[in-house]
Structure 1
Amino acid sequence: MKAIIGAIIVALLPVVAAGGERPVAPNGIPIMEGYRNWQVIAPSYREDKGHIRVIFGNDIAVKASRNGTLPFPDGTVLAKVAWTAAKHPKFPVATVPDRFVQVEFMVKDAKKYGATGGWGFARFVGDSLTPYGKDPGFVQECFGCHTPVKGNDYVFTGFAPVP
């Protein structure tokens, strides 16, 4: 009987995961609902990784980016989605997104994340959206990469110019 109940529970796990809890980073930041519906702030390309990236912002991030507001206000959330790059099969001079790699978030809360410039960081990797990092200390890796842009409140990306 225990084996049957165990088999039922294991069979139901994908259903619970598919419609249930959002993955959460080791520091407590979950995947933000609806981030793919946020406005695009800018695309980018990371040569060392061969990744095409699109940076989305919630309404607070978009307003601050447009107005050049620094530091970004609390409540700002940026989402960076990354894919491997591939040549378009019908138009090989074009590079297009290929395989999904990860989604990363930056969440501004100057008090809560004071040790990392006021920003909380989270990364979810692969199609399974596996939270990155073994413990909350993983954010030091993220923060370390962002220190060269301290003068821009630790944010690399600005609003892409469009006439």
Structure 2
Amino acid sequence: MRKWLLPLIPIFALALPSRGEETNAPAGERIALPPAYKNFRVIGLSQRSDDQSLRAILGNDVAVEAARAGKTNPWPNGAILAKLVWKQKQSAQFPAATIPDAFSSVAFMIKDDAKYAATAGWGWGEWVGLQQKPYDKAGFARECVACHSTVKDQDWVFTRPGELP
């Protein structure tokens, strides 16, 4: 190997897309925080009127490829969906615009039919605030499945990817 390449190896390693590797998983039913999620791409947006929040739904490469191909029912194993949540507010400069306010949380769904068979084929996790404090409520994954049961015919996913040109 050429000596000038050695310093670049760590940079290239950081640029590799995440395929859902899980490390340092907390005890119990929780997943680990996917380390490369900040490099995921947007696949959908949503606004919730019940808690006045804005959400950007991101996906890893597996999820993005599935969304673009229209193959999301079911989502493929290895897909990771990330939901970044902000409180919302009206823009002072442009009152017709709703903009993000304080960051609330990031939640994940990791598709693996075998590993997460007990929770509808998905691993579930949430981290709160800018500090990304794990949300460690007992029974969290089962609670997620119960809420998402209304969309079990959509592979337990509320998000409908937006069309891209």
* Matching residue of 1:17: none
Counterpart contact for 1:120–1:139, Cα < 8 Å: yes
Counterpart contact for 2:30–2:124, Cα < 8 Å: no
* Matching residue of 1:62: 64
- What are the Cα deviations for residues 113-132 of structure 1, in whole angstroms up to 9, with x where unaligned? 11111001000111221111
Q: Using the alignment, how far apart are the partners of 1:73 and 1:29 within structure 2?
A: 18
Q: When the two structures are aligned, how many residues end up with a matched partner?
A: 142
Tell me which stretches of 4 or more aligned residues in structure 1 moved more than 6 Å: none
* Matching residue of 1:89: 92
Query: Counterpart of 2:97 in 1: which secondary structure?
Result: strand
Counterpart contact for 1:24–1:31, Cα < 8 Å: no
* Matching residue of 1:146: 148
Q: 2:101 aligns with which of 98, 103, 116?
A: 98
Larger radius of gyration: 1
* Matching residue of 2:124: 121
Q: 1:43 aligns with which of 34, 45, 49?
A: 45
Residues 81/106 of structure 1: CA separation in 2 closer, same or farther (3 Å cut): same
Query: Counterpart of 1:91 in 2: which secondary structure?
Result: coil
TM-score, length of structure 1 as denominator length: 0.80
Counterpart contact for 2:30–2:123, Cα < 8 Å: no
Q: 2:31 aligns with which of 18, 22, 29?
A: 29
What's the CA shift for 1:102? 0.3
Let me know the Cα RMSD of the aligned residues.
Answer: 1.9
Counterpart contact for 2:30–2:141, Cα < 8 Å: no
Q: Using the alignment, how far apart are the partners of 1:25 and 1:72 within structure 2?
A: 26
Residues 25/154 of structure 1: CA separation in 2 closer, same or farther (3 Å cut): farther
Counterpart contact for 2:43–2:57, Cα < 8 Å: yes
1:107 and 2:107 are equivalent in the alignment: no
- What are the Cα deviations for residues 133-155 of structure 1, in whole angstroms up to 9, with x where unaligned? 333x2111111111111111111
The alignment-based identity, stated in percent, is 44
Counterpart contact for 1:24–1:30, Cα < 8 Å: yes
TM-score, length of structure 2 as denominator length: 0.79
- What are the Cα deviations for residues 46-102 of structure 1, in whole angstroms up to 9, with x where unaligned? 111111000000010111112222211111100000000011121111110110000
Q: 1:73 aligns with which of 61, 67, 76?
A: 76
Q: Using the alignment, how far apart are the partners of 2:84 and 2:24 within structure 1?
A: 17
Higher helix share: 1
